[in-house]
Amino acid sequence: MNNKKGQVQCINDEILEKMQLKFRYKFLNNNLMAVLKPEDYKFLREVEKFYINFEKKYNITHNEDFYEWFPEIGKAGLLTRINHFNNFDLNYEPYGLKAEFLRLLATDFFDPQMTMSMGACVLAVNPLLLHNEGVDVRLKALKELVTGEKIGCICITEPERGSDAVHMETTCDKQENGSYLINGQKIYQTNGPKADWAIIYACSEKNNGNTMAQFLVDTSWEGWNVEKINIPWVPRISLGKETFKNLKVPKEYVLGAPGLGREYLFEGLNLERLGGCSLYVSEAWNAVTHAVIYANMRKQFNQEILKFQGVGFTLSDLWAKTMNLTLALLYISELVDNTLKKNDGILPKAFNLSLGVYVSQLKYQCAKLSERVCYESANLMGGAGVCDNTLMQDLLGISRIQEIGAGTRQIQQYIMSYSLRRLFKLL
Ligand SMILES: Cc1cc2nc3c(=O)[nH]c(=O)nc-3n(C[C@H](O)[C@H](O)[C@H](O)COP(=O)(O)OP(=O)(O)OC[C@H]3O[C@@H](n4cnc5c(N)ncnc54)[C@H](O)[C@@H]3O)c2cc1C
């Protein structure tokens, strides 16, 4: 049986059996085996085996509070692979963007909402990785996030400042002892209500991005107030609206003083968006895999529905688009990994700048891919695609929001059209 349990069984036993994690992984593996290096394929299999055992061990139905699983997953070194984390003797191998993509693929097949939530923890890891300067409290927070002992969130968006993230209304005021007081409000933070550690951006002068700062905040401090908001498309992800009232941040928790925050916000954006792209493509693979299994088994008019052109050709189209973007992501991930390795883990400024446009192109297409493939796959499965017996229900919901987070579709288009103007001027 597929472990996703709905109220009433709508899909027959035979098809549900074939939709088990191990068979969906097999379809994915047969697609990727030829394009992955042996060591990458080995890692993909390793992550898959972990989740097959995990699902069996706890008889998981995917209705649970997945935040409780983070410590065990973190202990297995599968919460993030963006870095080797040698400074904590974790020595992750493989690591980098490509490893992260493979980790996300296998994790998404297990539980899409959990995978997105993990991604927000990784967003909190990145600034600490770049700006810990060996300070004990920062290293402690970093290790706790990487190992899943603690949960992280990142606070950029505000009720009145979404796409225009640079002109923040949240303020930070320096005190005599070097600490800061933060006042203001943030909204739509993935993991906000569950987070132990938060990365907060605020400006010393309202609406002036040049005065932006970056802080690490322990959410048990006085002045951090959070309300859980409801995004019905992702009911198991905890999203927050946070209000800061004289939230006092000691000076060793100031990752970037006013003036540095804006650069710090943008330096990580490319890698964050690429992580998002991997998530979106993973969702597409998960959905298309469900639909391929279903269409090969479901019979109508005495034939497997895959044999009807309306189904088979549509599915081929979804499959081809998913594969093509997978190849593009593998290429760009490897390019970034090699550049990082050659430059002591820091992307050269010029490279990072030109990467921005490729990332916007990918973010635009990968989020659209997730939206289309998840919807069309469900559509090809008829009632079985929209009932609650499989993870298709989660995929349908989650794929509706990917064009909004991490920079909306229109913002990616804006970046790309601006770049077309710049390229024209070079002629
Ligand atoms: C599920 C989910 C998770 C999220 N997680 C986080 C998180 O962890 N941390 C965090 O800080 N934020 C998070 N966000 C917030 C997200 O990044 C913002 O929702 C996003 O930046 C858009 O901001 P907004 O909602 O205020 O929309 P607005 O910026 O108000 O945009 C409304 C519409 O106007 C369009 N628009 C705005 N400006 C332009 C322009 N210049 N050109 C063309 N069109 C434009 C937009 O594309 C959009 O269609 C999350 C959001 C969601 C839905």
How many whole angstroms from 231 Cα to the centroid of ligand 1?
14
**Would residue 134 count as lying in a domain?**
yes
272 and 254 both lie in a single domain: no
Res. 2: pLDDT tops 80: no
Decide the pairing of beta strands 180-190 and 239-249: antiparallel
Note whether 121 and 199 are within 8 A (CB).
no
**pLDDT value of residue 344:** 87
* Cα separations in angstroms, 24 against 19, 49, 137, 151, 363: 6, 12, 42, 29, 25
d(CA 36, ligand 1 centre) in Å: 35
Distance 155 CA to ligand 1 centre (A): 13
Band of pLDDT at residue 3, cut at 50, 70 and 90: low
Pocket residue to mutate for ligand 1, from 188, 189, 191, 199, most atoms within 8 A of Cβ: 188
Distance (Å) of CA 311 to CA 44, 322, 391: 30, 17, 20
Helix (H, G, I), strand (E, B) or coil at 381: coil
**Residue 106 resides in a domain:** yes
Contact 334, 100 (CB under 8 A): no
Do 69 and 172 share a structural domain? no
pLDDT at res. 4: 67
Q: Are 363 and 277 in contact (CB under 8 A)?
A: yes
**What mean pLDDT is predicted for residues 80-92?**
92
Q: Which of 95, 124, 146 is the last residue of a domain?
A: 146
Residue 133 has pLDDT above 60, yes or no: yes
Q: What percent of the chain has pLDDT over 90?
A: 93
Please count the structural domains in the chain.
Answer: 3
- Does some domain include residue 395? yes
Residue of higher predicted confidence among 369 and 89: 369
Question: What is the mean predicted confidence (pLDDT) over 313-333?
Answer: 98
Our answer on whether the CB atom of 188 is closer than 6 Å to any ligand 1 atom is: yes
Give the pLDDT mean for 307-317: 98
Domain encompassing residue 285: 264-425
If pLDDT is split at 50, 70 and 90, which confidence band does 74 have? Answer: very high
| pLDDT value at residue 353 | 85
Answer whether residue 349 shows pLDDT above 90: no
Instruction: Measure the CA angle with vertex 117, ends 116 and 118; round to 5°.
Output: 90
Q: Is the CB of 189 under 6 A from ligand 1?
A: yes
* Residue 406 CA to ligand 1 centre (angstroms): 8
> pLDDT value at position 345?
84
pLDDT digits (tens, 9 = 90+) for 26-38: 999 999 999 999 9
Last residue in a domain, options 259, 292, 312: 259
Indicate which atom in ligand 1 lies nearest the CA of residue 414.
42
> What's the mean pLDDT in 146-162?
98
What is the share, in percent, of the chain residues with pLDDT greater than 70? Answer: 99
Mean pLDDT of 314-318: 98
Residue 382 and residue 322 share a domain: yes
Number of DSSP helices (H) and strands (E) in the chain, helices first: 14, 10
For ligand 1, what atom is nearest to the CA of residue 406?
A: 17
Would the pLDDT of 6 be above 80? no
Residue 55 has pLDDT above 90, yes or no: yes
Tell me if 295 is assigned to some domain: yes
Give the mean model confidence (pLDDT) for residues 116-128.
96
Band of residue 5 on the pLDDT scale cut at 50, 70, 90: low
319 is a domain residue:
yes
Q: Are residues 393 and 412 in the same domain?
A: yes
| Rounded-to-integer distance, Cα 97 and Cα 339, Å | 11
Position in ligand 1 atom list of the atom nearest CA 153 = 8
Per-residue burial over 123-133, b = 16 or more CB atoms within 10 Å of its CB, e = otherwise = bbbbbbbbbbe
pLDDT of residue 423: 95
- For 363, phi then psi, to 5°, come to -60, -45
Q: Within this chain, do residues 305 and 372 fall inside the same structural domain, yes or no?
A: yes
* CATH code of residue 250: 2.40.110.10
Question: What's the gap between Cα 227 and its chain centre?
Answer: 22
- Same domain? For 305 and 419 the reply is yes
- Residue 154 Cβ inside 6 Å of ligand 1? The answer reads yes
- Using the predicted structure, report yes or no on whether residue 180 has a pLDDT greater than 90: yes
- Give mean pLDDT, residues 197-207: 98
Residue 2 lies in a domain: no
Q: Which of 157, 167, 214, 239 to mutate to test the pocket of ligand 1 (most atoms within 8 A of CB)?
A: 157
CA-nearest residue, atom 12 of ligand 1: 157
Query: In terms of domains, do 251 and 363 share one?
Result: no
The predicted pLDDT at position 1 comes to: 47
Confidence of residue 243 (pLDDT cuts 50, 70, 90): very high
Q: Identify the residue whose C-alpha is closest to ligand 1 atom 40.
A: 411
- Give mean pLDDT, residues 371-380: 98
Q: Is the CB of 71 under 6 A from ligand 1?
A: no
Position 7 in a domain: no
Shared-domain flag, residues 156 and 141: no
In this structure, are 279 and 136 located in the same domain? Answer: no
Instruction: Give the domain CATH number at 319.
Output: 1.20.140.10
Choose the final residue of a domain: 146, 166, 188: 146
Same domain, 212 and 239: yes
Residues 249 and 292 in one domain: no
Q: What is the mean pLDDT of the chain?
A: 96
Q: Is 214 in the pocket of ligand 1 (CB under 6 A)?
A: no
Closest CA relative to residue 191, chosen from 282, 98, 284, 79: 79
5 within some domain: no
**Do 341 and 253 belong to one domain?**
no
